């Protein structure tokens, strides 16, 4: 393994590893201390900790499928996504630190939610943000890492200074 691969592997471990650990520790605390549906207010009128389970994908997508089919589908999709993230990560030039960091965040989050799917058949969510009647679906540390990672990658792509390829002349 050359120095570049070692550097990339270190970054991946230093970003994805703590995300996975923090995600699983917070979910373990929720499972041990709050009954399903239970919670408490952190910032009145804005933020609660509420123990919920998401059997579906993002925003409850496909939650109505049978439990076994849903779990197999989401595990397969998560494994494919993890494989793609790893391929993109290894193909990302070392100089593209923001992209690599974003991909490492996405990987840590994807693995965190995959662990839940394999263990429980659902994802444990608990971060509950709202304002009056406006209510965001509950989420977790893994979801936050995925979102931040995707935003970093998108911003990097939007700010990229590479000139567009010229169109062929007729």
Active site residues: 125, 143
In the numeric block, which tokens belong to residue 107?
A: 């990987």
In the numeric block, which tokens belong to residue 1?
A: 């393994």
**CA-to-CA distance for 154 and 160, rounded, in angstroms?**
10
**CA-to-CA distance for 154 and 4, rounded, in angstroms?**
24
**CA-to-CA distance for 134 and 126, rounded, in angstroms?**
17
Q: How far is CA 71 from the centre of its chain?
A: 17
Query: Judging by DSSP bridges, how do beta strands 134-135 and 123-131 pair with one another?
Result: antiparallel
């Amino acid at each position: 393994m050359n120095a570049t691969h070692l550097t990339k592997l270190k970054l991946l471990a230093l970003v994805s590893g703590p995300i996975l650990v923090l995600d699983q520790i917070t979910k373990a605390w929720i499972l041990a201390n709050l009954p399903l549906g239970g919670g408490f207010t952190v910032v009145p009128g804005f933020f609660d900790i509420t123990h919920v389970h998401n059997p579906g994908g993002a925003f409850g997508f496909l939650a109505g499928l049978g439990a076994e089919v849903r779990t197999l589908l989401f595990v397969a999709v998560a494994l494919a996504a993890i494989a793609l993230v790893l391929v993109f990560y290894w193909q990302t030039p070392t100089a593209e630190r923001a992209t690599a960091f974003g991909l490492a965040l996405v990987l840590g989050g994807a693995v965190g939610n995959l662990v839940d799917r394999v263990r429980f058949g659902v994802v444990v969510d608990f971060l509950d943000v709202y304002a009056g009647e406006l209510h965001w679906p509950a989420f977790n540390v893994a979801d936050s890492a995925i979102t931040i990672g995707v935003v970093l990658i998108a911003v990097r792509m939007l700010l990229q200074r590479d000139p567009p390829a010229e169109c062929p002349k007729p």
